[in-house]
């Protein structure tokens, strides 16, 4: 969800397989309410990362409020998690790792990637 329109954002979302993209948003809280309603989620089930004052209303509602290291002071004061990375430099990936670890899923994901590199058995003696 972004107040700006960016072809780069659309391209990156497509590369990642993200289909839920809202750009040119006038009211982030209205768009947030629409998304949560459409997906039948509660606020507690949502993690949201914001970096500027236009994000404050949404950050105040979600279950896990997060910000990149370079967010405004007002945002940094409101969130539950601050990434050590700046926006566009790994902050979202950092948040995803924190969530996956909290859900107990991180180790199995790492193990799956490690297994990809193991030699395959050919079934021949």
pTM of the model: 0.85
What is the spatial distance between Cα 47 and Cα 44, in angstroms, rounded to a whole number?
8
For 47-117, CATH gives 3.40.50.1000
Residue 125, pLDDT > 60, answer: no
Q: Where are the domains of the chain?
A: 1-41, 47-117
pLDDT, one tens digit per residue, over 28-50 is 999 999 999 999 999 999 999 99
What is the spatial distance between Cα 27 and Cα 4, in angstroms, rounded to a whole number?
12
| Residue (of 45, 18, 17, 21) closest to 31 by Cα position | 21
Give percent of the chain with pLDDT exceeding 70.
97
């Amino acid at each position: 969800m972004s107040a700006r329109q960016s072809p780069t954002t659309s391209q990156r979302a497509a590369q990642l397989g993200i289909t839920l993209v809202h750009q040119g948003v006038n009211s982030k809280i209205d768009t947030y309410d629409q998304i949560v309603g459409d997906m039948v989620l509660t606020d507690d089930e949502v993690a949201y990362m914001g970096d500027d004052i236009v994000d404050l209303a949404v950050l105040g509602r979600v279950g896990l409020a997060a910000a990149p290291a370079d967010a405004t002071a007002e945002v940094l004061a409101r969130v539950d998690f601050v990434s050590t990375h700046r926006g566009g430099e790994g902050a979202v990936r950092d948040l995803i790792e924190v969530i996956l670890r909290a859900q107990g899923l991180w180790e199995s994901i790492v193990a799956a990637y490690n297994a990809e590199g193991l030699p395959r058995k050919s079934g021949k003696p």
